[in-house]
Structure 1
Amino acid sequence: MSDRRILAGRYEVRALLGRGGMAEVHEGLDTRLGRSIAIKLLRSDLARDPSFQARLRREAQSAAALNHPSIVAVYDSGEEVLHESGGGEVHVPFIVMEYVRGHTLRDLLKSEGQLPVDQAVHAAAGVLSALQYSHRAGIVHRDIKPGNVMITPSDDVKVMDFGIARALADTSATMTQTSAVVGTAQYLSPEQARGEVVDARSDLYSAACLLFELLTGRPPFVGDSPVAVAYQHVREEPDAPSVHNDDVPPAIDRVLMHALAKERGDRYQDAGTFRADLLAAQGGRPLSIDGPDDDSTTVMGAAAPAPTEAMTQAMGAQTAATTVQQTHTPSHRADVAEATGVAAFAGDSPSTAETPVSDGDDEEPPKKHKSAKGWIWFLSILLVLVLGGLGYYVYTLQKPEQPPGFKLDNVTNIDADQAKSILTGRHLKVKETKKKDKSVPKGTVIATKPKPKTIVHRGDVITLVVSSGPKSVTVPDVDGQTETYARQLLEQSNLVAGSDSEDYSPSLEKGKVLRSNPRAGKKVDGGSTVDLVLSNGQVRVPGVVGEKKKHACHILESSDYQLSCDVTTRVSDPDKYPAGTVVKQSTSQGEAVPQHSTITITVAVPPEKPTNSPTNSPTESPTESPTTSPTESPTDPATTSPPDDGGKGDGE
């Protein structure tokens, strides 16, 4: 029994389940609740390294914030103090997690080589469901791989190691940067390999690599070293999974190749869409990526010269038609106009355009004069058009060419600082507005203006709508309730029940809520933590020595203490303790006793008066004389003088 290892007074450490690069995982037992658990302990040889301690704590904080069926739950965390032989102390952090029975996808791949298509899609859909939830909470996993996903005997999917990106019993090479794990080479997104900011879409790329391996038995890229694999992620295009497995349908090929796009703006923007398309491909339904291509856009700087050239050709044709009209007959002009596609001028009247010219010399001068006016107007308009077109053409040649537009990245459901980094990296300006939202964590981007996938240019201003957390709520009154019911009331009010502590109470039974912190009725942000103070079923005894008996009992029996008062007396020096004053109490001041206990107080009384008073002398005197003299006289005649009888006795 002495070999049992207990953490935090309740977690019993049992058999070793696995060992990783920075931690060991043991099977354990929660002795208080009687349930099986898994305990993750930092390796003792790394316990002095602050960076490893911080990683394990970060994992506990990240995973504890997630409550999803496909995510391994974290119940508790703490530190174990180890005493070294030299007298020093080492603090070893640990995490108490849900104990999951089953096998990792790494184990299944080792035993089966590759999974059937339906089983692989089911596993990937479970991973994407977990990622969809974690991304909405602002947490990026950063290390999705087969060693971090478990399949239970009931075929449920469990994703583990959130926030720390380290796996148990997984010997895959791990890419590191400044001592921080940033991903595993075979499942590394291109932006991770380039050292750029990682966001939710990096997890989706890693999930696509995971599905690729489940379908084919190999990662998308294979190399001699992690660096070589990372280079392929950045520079080379992967094969379609059907190249390595004929059973993979074309629809799943399209989904995977879209998810493995090098630029994160070209791949799936959220886990929900990826999962929906994957299930649609499995069921033979249309995919979201099969819609019309919306990439075609018109850039004014590039398209402007084309209208100018067409305009010039048209004006040339009009000039040619004008020359014809000036030197040929109207009927001939009409033929030329029809052949060149140019209509009759505004100056030609219907009669002029349709009446043939007579062979004689009898042309009317007025008609000739009217036609000349039309030519002047037409030439003037034509000159204006030519000069305007020429000016616009020169302007477009001299105008600086605008950079090509691009689609706005989808930065919703990620941390605002991370979103700013992504957008400024694309040479965009960022503004921020706040909006209360009870379902989106504080500091997370709710939406952008303009919307994602809108065509934008460098220097454009993007407005981020950031959640300021839920609206304020009122702390409910949980005083006098059981701990369980109090926690339910807090959850119903969109609050989080925090830690418990105990305090003394004269009447509230042990385990019930004395008060909350913050107190009932106070306005707080939704999702805030409210701590509970519980009754320990005990009372601290007040001090009543020196008090009058009546007042002392009144204090003990008051509502502040609700104790019973028992009285005894003791003769005491009146100069030190006046009569009726408490000189002693059975339980010292400040000691804790169970509720409604009896406290005995000792009250001073004066000493009794002397018993030899003057009233007793007459009683004592007569009793001594008669009893002594008669008795002694006959027994001692030698000492008693005979009566004086005048000599009569001698005679007798």
Structure 2
Amino acid sequence: MSEPKVLSGRYEVRALLGRGGMAEVHEGVDNRLGRRVAIKLLRSDLARDPSFHTRLKREAQSAAGLNHPGIVAVYDSGEEEFVESGGSSVSVPFIVMEYVEGQTLREVLNEHGTLTVDEALNVIAGVLAPLEYSHRNGIVHRDIKPANVMLTPEGDIKVMDFGIARALKDNSGLTQTQSVVGTAQYLSPEQARGEVVDARSDLYSTACLLYELLAGRPPFVGDSQLAVAYQHVGETPQPPSFYNQNIPPAVDRLLLHALLKDRDTRYQDAYTFREDVLAARDGRPMSFEDDVEATQAYPMMTPPMTAPMAHANEAEPTPETGPVSAIMTNQEERPPQKRSRAWVWIGSIFVLLALAAVALWVYEINKPPEVIEVQVTDVANMDADEAESALIQQGLRVDRDEKYSAEVDEGKAIETDPPGGQTVEKDSVVKLIISSGPESVKVPDVSGETEEQARKIINDAKLQAGTHISQNSPDVEKGVVIETKPGDGQEVDVDSNVDLVVSSGMVEVPDVAGKTAEEACKILEGDDYRLGCKTEEVETADHDEKKVFEQSATGGNEVKQGSEITVKVAKKPPEPSPSIPSVPGGIPTAPGDDDGGDEDDKDDKDKKDKDSMGGGLFDDWSEGIIGN
């Protein structure tokens, strides 16, 4: 398991809590203070866009200056370098915030449906309190919606996500870019028209939120954001009781007043709106109900019914009840007065022109920007940084990735996706594929395997079994692999040749001449040769005694494993017996005397010969004959 990311050496990033259009929110821990936090990280695919850096920084600055129990607190912010899959680094901004247990109102609506009247009014009172505080401190939220309001298990309300908030004194941005900022279903008419917003825009969005909590849907819905924005600008909403009959008339009047198109006629501050919310909850009169002119500002609306029934039930509203009350009680409207047909036509034309102008204006500010296309540069074989720079200069965003390649050197570009030469929109993301060199694998250990099995293992490892190298071995069976070249465990390129060193089953005999019998046998029988040893002593005076002078297999010759080698060891021959010399008359003389010893020896020998042939009688006879 990989180690958790730690930001600024302090904030440990843990489980993902949720994703938004701009950022991801993770659970985290402040290791310095030991407290649980929420960490908002800019999405990695937006990290190279300076405008999103600015938005997250503005959110941190806006919320950090607001210290209210109903606003999610910001503790810290910063930037952290992240290494992308391609090896390049990118600076990602983050915000460290208060961790809030609970659910967003969007989750509550999805899981439980609409709230009761009292619950909805209490929630909105909880939203308006922190908004009053932020407005007093010069900050407009500009994106009040169910997903940005949390309800804790204790029933507390927390407003969060000041991502598009702006100071009241800051008039830049919207009018310059002519862009609509916010979420379509909760846009105020001035936001939809691209005008500078103020605190009253937040109050309109809060009214849209209350409407959805009660009716189960926003006041305006449509097939597109443009259609919804158009309705905010030019249409009057149905009272929420049209969708939920349990809503009392006082709440209808409250919401229709809060949703007036002209911001000068609806609620001017969060405090007054909140007081009226509590008044409607408690059955007390609301602030605008004492103002006859204000109550008469409501447009006439009727619930859907057939045309004859509608005219039958229409009645003229009185100053005491106002038009909203007339709608609620389905009273009859006074008969229409006769008017000049010309004025009717003129009025109709003006209305049509006004609607056409509004429609054109809404289309202009929301029409898609002009598409600028560029042709992707062919960056094959360029250095990685050089290739990325070339693509960025074209106005493209680059996402690096790596791929093994035996044809392209490591660190150079292989290709792009889309490929070079293809036309794409400017600011598109182009994947840049960088070579990480040839794919390498480890040589498998095939020692002890038969050559056939070893070749199969090597080929299965994306390598090529190469040359058969025969090698003598004292203990590896014939035909079995001793080792590989390169050796096992070494990193080599895919499809490299790996030679096999295979046992021949033979052993090269060592030369033990001149060794003693014990030394010779120790060498032959040792681990290097593992041969048998037989000694044979031979009497000879021609070689050193007790030394090997001959062996049955000459040193350097090859024999089968375990063969027996006979070594001949020199043995000293026995000494010859010494001779005893004699002298005439039978008196022995010492050898070496100079008194005719050699001659005496000869005579003695002759005498012995004679004795062997017949003894002294023959000798005497022969001497007599000779003497005569």
TM-score bracket for the superposition, by shorter chain length: 0.3 to 0.5
Larger radius of gyration between Structure 1 and Structure 2: 2
TM-score (norm 2): 0.44
TM-score (norm 1): 0.43
